[in-house]
Amino acid sequence: METMDAWRQSAGALVADLEHIFGGRLQSVVAYGPHVEGHTSAPLTCLALVDSLGLSDLEACAAFAPRWGRQQIATPLILPADEFWRSLDAFPLEYGEIVRAHERLYGSDPFTDTTTSPADLRRACETQIKSHLLHLREGFIEAAGRPESIAALVRASAPAFAALLRSVARLYGGNAMTRADATRDGARAAALPDAVVAEILALEQGAAIPTTDAARVFPGYLAAVEQLARVVDTWTP
């Protein structure tokens, strides 16, 4: 089994590749996501900020993509730095997860003074939570009562729900660094049942859900998402 820091060797190889491609235009590289936080079955995800990004850079990255895949490195998120800063208001949840827990690999830490507008965060939370709610309702109908299909729906959607709880935690001022603690902080802010949150956390970490349990899990899960939507609807600074 991989140790907590074994991913750094692969990360170092990625940084070397990016230095080869971008040279002095490479500003910073950070690792983030489940792999860095101990879920070693997940691919290693990284963000690279650069001075500029053109088609020739994309072509050069494409040449390395097969090797990155073999090393369990997801295609890195590569952005011109000014584009990243201008996009914080558009993607406060996605970028907020990177800011919450990341490891600097190259350059200075780009997030030392990063802040997200609470209004932008609340609006993004509302959009994604209500989208999640629609997805669950539609998916349940399409499952047509088949336990295996309901189980697949719950399992596949669990990571997105856990990420929403972490965003709600940020909205309510939480600053926990670990995924589990941040998820639980969001659940407490929304007054969600501990049992439901524990099941979702287990699924996010790759636990199996027996198809015979699907009918039992789904009603509480749906109710939790509905409660989360109400909480975000009524949130005030």
Q: What's the CATH code of the domain at 14?
A: 3.30.460
- Does a structural domain hold residue 219? yes
End position of a domain, from candidates 76, 106, 136 = 106
Structure tokens at 85: 């800063």
Does 140 share its domain with 214?
Answer: yes
Q: Could you tell me the strand order of the sheet in which 26-32 lies? A: 77-80, 45-50, 26-32, 102-106
- Does a structural domain hold residue 112? no
Find the domain containing 131 and state its range: 118-233
Does 29 share its domain with 90?
Answer: yes
Q: Indicate whether 85 pLDDT > 80.
A: yes
Average pLDDT over residues 60-66: 97
Confidence of residue 5 (pLDDT cuts 50, 70, 90): low
Angle at 120 between CA 114 and CA 121, to 5 degrees: 75
Does 90 share its domain with 123?
Answer: no
Average pLDDT over residues 50-64: 97
Q: Indicate whether 15 pLDDT > 70.
A: yes
Cβ atoms 174, 189 nearer than 8 A: yes
Higher pLDDT, 106 or 99: 106
Q: Indicate whether 23 pLDDT > 90.
A: yes
End position of a domain, from candidates 58, 82, 106 = 106
Does 122 share its domain with 102?
Answer: no
Q: Indicate whether 1 pLDDT > 60.
A: no
Does 75 share its domain with 134?
Answer: no
- Does a structural domain hold residue 113? no
End position of a domain, from candidates 78, 106, 134 = 106
Confidence of residue 34 (pLDDT cuts 50, 70, 90): confident
Which residues are within 8 A (CB) of 52 and not within 5 positions of it... i.e. 6 or more apart? 25, 80
Does 128 share its domain with 228?
Answer: yes
Cβ atoms 114, 99 nearer than 8 A: yes
pLDDT, position 100: 79
Higher pLDDT, 218 or 19: 19
**Domain tally for the chain?**
2
Query: What pLDDT, in 10s, does the model give residues 108-124?
Result: 888 877 777 888 889 98
pLDDT, position 208: 66
Average pLDDT over residues 165-184: 85
Q: Indicate whether 68 pLDDT > 80.
A: yes
User: Which residues share a beta bridge with 48?
Assistant: 29, 78
- The pLDDT mean for the chain works out to 88
Average pLDDT over residues 161-173: 89
Confidence of residue 231 (pLDDT cuts 50, 70, 90): very high
Does 55 share its domain with 79?
Answer: yes
Higher pLDDT, 101 or 147: 147
Helix (H, G, I), strand (E, B) or coil at 28: strand
Q: Indicate whether 46 pLDDT > 70.
A: yes
Q: Indicate whether 39 pLDDT > 50.
A: yes
Average pLDDT over residues 201-206: 75
Higher pLDDT, 99 or 190: 190
Does 129 share its domain with 199?
Answer: yes
